[in-house]
Structure 1
Amino acid sequence: MQERVNVYVGISLGTYNTVIAISDREGDSHVIANNDGEHKTPLYIGITKDHEEEEGHEEEVVFGSQAKIQSAYNSGNTVVKFKDYLGITEKEAQDAAIEKESKSVFCKLQRLATTGELGYTINGKEYTVYQIMKEYIDNLYKVVTKYIGETKKIAGVAISVPSYFNSKQREQMQQLCKELDIPNAQLVDEQTAGIVSSTRGQKLLAADKEYTKNVLVVNVGGTKTAVSIYTVGELVSEIGTVVTDKVSGEEFDKVLTNYLHKQPPTSTRATIKLQHSVENAKHTLSLSTTAHCFVEALDNGVDFSANITRVRFDLLSAKLYTQLIDTIDTLLQSYSYNRSEIDSIVLLGGSCKIPKLANRVKALFPYASVSTATSSQNADSGSGSGKGKSHSIECDEAIAIGSSKLAAYNDHNPAISARSSPSYPIGLKLADSLFHPLVPRNSPLPFVKKFSFAIPKNGANHHFAVCKGSLYQPPHSESDDEDDSAEDNSSAPRYVPDSSAPLIAEFSVPSSSDSDTDNVDLTVFISSSGKLEFKVACNDQDISL
């Protein structure tokens, strides 16, 4: 009997859609289709009762695309957006969630009378969020087993969770995987999976040992956006994350709905039908310059039809784009990073396929590479101005692909996590109050990075000092409040040389007496044990230290 081939599954659980990918041991990954032939499975669960059967007959449960299709006619028994409410046990948090979902056109979230947990009442029967989530994951797992057939075996499953998931939510997700007997189930952060998705082969991050990068991850979800900074080399380490609910897929939908249909529909069925049509129009605008929104018999038997151009959509969404840029700047300032220190950008989520949104983010970092791309960019990937190139992984598929790779990697290697790391930045002391960072704080070890700069050819020795950095908060002045639009805020915290600590290293680079400049290459290496080493070369000639 032929031995079954191991495959590894990655599941990207979004707010409204799920994507499944599988990976083999060599790291080759691809997204698979569900039973309806689609790459996206809506996060919908519908429960109906077969009235033709006798009393007491079990209800029929439909999920994914089938549940979404019937939701307009069975809204009261359709559950949507339940992932975010898994594991919420605190009364205040439950009250906030119930209030947030009170205007939903679908089955209302509530605190169940029998258990006190969050859940739903359908056909007089109570369902906890945990039960709904378990039913959904079980159906996803059945899709995977049907797809791989008898010749392959699932050796591991990685399910992505957002950065804002707390420990209780993660525990419940792990518990339901255990109850469903999902083999080697593990949870991975969405941002980490997105970063890993752009790697090639089983070695994953090992290919980047020669260059430690600062990566900005922009993850625009259905209800929230998380923006993070990671350092990526042999390992992945999170520097910091900022989460906002002011930019999301829902907010883009609202902008489009308010423009296309000025008056709210008069019925729940019409509201849902319009919502689905608007979603399709938004997706079309990511690929085309115009979109048509049509709903048959929307209100009182009257058809609805409207057109919108991408230019108009961008004008309507301008505030959302600006809010996203502000969130990115808040993250950079909070962790004392300059835009020039970002080496790579990872765009995640379907809304990042909106060309204007992606271009606004890229414009902030013109020399950073982009690790995910929209479908329209895939056609000419690798061409362009040369400032930064894009890989061909879709924004809304990257997390699933990265999750499948992590499932394969973690089955054969220790989990990707940060080892010891410096709690302070290391850099060049250019003046008493001027610090140029070389090694960001919290960088995972080992750390390797190469820097290049020019010095004037004046025949003199140029002296360099390496030191620790300390965070300096300039005093606040009234003039800062008067000019909030300025890009560089003089009162923002920044790193300066730490005068209380001795210099870490010093070296001199001799220059020639010719005209123009000399090129200096400085390579910084920190071993896993924390040993710091430097290598300096001038015009490709090594200089002893």
Structure 2
Amino acid sequence: MAGEMSMIGSVILALLLAGYLGQQYLPPPKPKVIGLDLGTTFCSVGVFQAGTGEIEVIGDDEGRKSIPSVVSFTPTGVLSGHEGQELSDINPQNTIYDAKRFIGKIFDLETLEKESARYPFKVIYNNGSAEFLVSTNSTFTITPEFIGSRLLLKMKKMAEKQLGVPVEKAVISVPAEFDERQRNYTIRAANLAGLDILRVINEPTAAAMAYGLHKAEVFNVLVVDLGVSSVWSHINDLPLAGNNKLGGQDFTQRLLQYTTERVRQQFGVPPTLKADIQILRQAVEAAKLNLTQQPHVHLHVPLHLQTTGINEDLEEKVLFEEELTRELFEKLNEDLFQKILAPIETVLIEGHLEKQEVDEVVLVGGSTRIPRIRQLISQYFGKEPNTSVDPDLAVVTGVAIQAGIMGGSWPLQVSAIEIPNRQLRKTNFG
């Protein structure tokens, strides 16, 4: 018996030694599963690197870690990401973005018409679902999940090029408020891109993993996920509250309304051409991003305004110039910023917590870079939020960790305990 135990011990020791030597001297295995963040405005793909325990967010050919969630249809092909975005000015009717707002969602006709009024492309009603009308060589409709599939396919190819191996399996994130239908349609989009989805993970849960809070000595974690489509607060996977009608697009819309009125004041007519509205929207979106770092920015936007002559409509080329300040931006959006606190208060009440009991406040989504938003959150909790992770890449980082777990990466230098992905409760604020 003692001899058998000694033999077993020797085998175990040999296996451990072989594993150690393999880790030290053999190249680490390629990741088997990729992590995908299919965002409303930007998308990212990441992998967990076995051996080093590092997360790699994969860039495109120019090293950009995120690609715009934009797909443009032309007579000669379909372009996604940055290539699609480059066509948004000259091909606005056939360049689709924000498809995530529509994927798997049931609409009534009136709501869909109101929701789609902001876009230069045509959104049509089809038996409760939204579809996009595209006209190139012919006129046809495209579903939101098809748009998602083109973005996921592009990220799949980016990962395959970087890793040098085919990629077939993935973990994907979705907003915590997505219902079963929306989750299933997201999986369908991935399937169209040739991907098998092993797990769907909530975005706030992924963000908590990115910050390492799934293995840290903290009990109460509040994730403020202020993306382009929603605000969510999440404490240890229990209560959830949000405003799914508030996000970065709304802040941009306020600037767009202001600049549209300034065009009317300067030139006598507002911009009405879809191409003009699109280029003005892009300009104010860039200005919003720059105002997070600078106190003021200057707009230079060429427009083609439609004016009325004696017997016909005329098109006048003008250059719209305007100085925008951070102070103005905060004034235009102050009521929206204040709404961010309401779901935070709700989630604390439902979690039976005082704000002093929150151990960590972490930020997700590009809009959490806005100084006024960070100031409000800091003032509310009496301490600075955790900003150790890039808020734009927090979700994809967490999804990549989960992908490493699902892929059985060894040695996995993160906690191998999966955070439960249960359906969370939510409260919407209008």
* In the alignment, structure 1 residue 120 sits paired with structure 2 residue 141: no
Measure, in 1, the Cα distance between the counterparts of 2:93 and 2:218: 51
Secondary structure of 2:419's counterpart equals coil
**Where in structure 2 are there 5+ consecutive unaligned residues?**
1-25, 265-269, 306-315, 409-415, 426-430
Measure, in 2, the Cα distance between the counterparts of 1:301 and 1:32: 41
| Correspondence for 1:103 | 117
| Correspondence for 2:382 | 366
Per-residue CA distance 1:326-370 (angstroms, 9 max, x = gap)? 332233234432111111011111110011111210221124x63
* 8 A Cα contact 1:298 1:304, kept in partner: no
Measure, in 1, the Cα distance between the counterparts of 2:376 and 2:28: 50
- Aligned pair partner of 1:195 in 208, 221, 224: 208
* Number of residue pairs the alignment of both structures matches: 370
Measure, in 1, the Cα distance between the counterparts of 2:399 and 2:57: 11
| Correspondence for 1:325 | 341
CA RMSD of aligned residues (A): 2.7
Q: CA deviation at 1:7?
A: 5.8
Q: CA deviation at 1:34?
A: 2.1
Measure, in 2, the Cα distance between the counterparts of 1:342 and 1:414: 23
- Aligned pair partner of 2:280 in 267, 271, 274: 274
What does 1:111-510 align with in structure 2 at a 5 Å threshold? 111-112=125-126, 117-123=129-135, 124-150=139-165, 154=167, 156-182=169-195, 185-199=198-212, 205-206=214-215, 208=216, 211-230=217-236, 238-262=237-261, 263=264, 264-297=270-303, 299=305, 300-367=316-383, 370-372=385-387, 391=388, 393-412=389-408, 413=416, 415-417=418-420
Q: CA deviation at 1:183?
A: 5.1
Secondary structure of 1:415's counterpart equals coil
| Correspondence for 1:54 | none
- Rg larger in structure: 1
Per-residue CA distance 1:54-110 (angstroms, 9 max, x = gap)? xxxxxx10111221221222122122211232223x4xx353552233313332222
Measure, in 2, the Cα distance between the counterparts of 1:275 and 1:23: 37
* 8 A Cα contact 1:94 1:118, kept in partner: no
* 8 A Cα contact 1:174 1:185, kept in partner: no
Measure, in 2, the Cα distance between the counterparts of 1:297 and 1:417: 51
Per-residue CA distance 1:402-422 (angstroms, 9 max, x = gap)? 111111123334632189xxx
Amino acid at match of 1:171: N
Change (3 A) 1:332 1:3: closer
Amino acid at match of 2:97: V
Measure, in 2, the Cα distance between the counterparts of 1:154 and 1:3: 17
Measure, in 2, the Cα distance between the counterparts of 1:41 and 1:159: 16
* 8 A Cα contact 2:59 2:66, kept in partner: yes
Q: CA deviation at 1:47?
A: 0.8
| Correspondence for 1:18 | 43
- Aligned pair partner of 1:28 in 54, 67, 73: 54
Amino acid at match of 2:72: G
- Aligned pair partner of 1:63 in 71, 77, 80: 80
Per-residue CA distance 1:260-295 (angstroms, 9 max, x = gap)? 341441211110000001111111111222222221
* 8 A Cα contact 2:201 2:399, kept in partner: yes
Change (3 A) 1:339 1:106: same
Amino acid at match of 2:89: A
**Where in structure 1 are there 5+ consecutive unaligned residues?**
51-59, 231-237, 373-390, 420-441, 443-545
Secondary structure of 2:220's counterpart equals strand
* TM-score of the pair, normalised by structure 1: 0.63
Per-residue CA distance 1:449-472 (angstroms, 9 max, x = gap)? xxxxxxxxxxxxxxxxxxxxxxxx
Change (3 A) 1:418 1:255: closer
Q: CA deviation at 1:19?
A: 2.3
Measure, in 1, the Cα distance between the counterparts of 2:304 and 2:365: 29
Measure, in 2, the Cα distance between the counterparts of 1:255 and 1:248: 12
| Correspondence for 2:22 | none
Higher strand share: 1
Q: Report 1 or 2 for greater relative contact order, CA contacts < 8 Å, sequence distance ≥ 6.
A: 2
Amino acid at match of 1:205: H
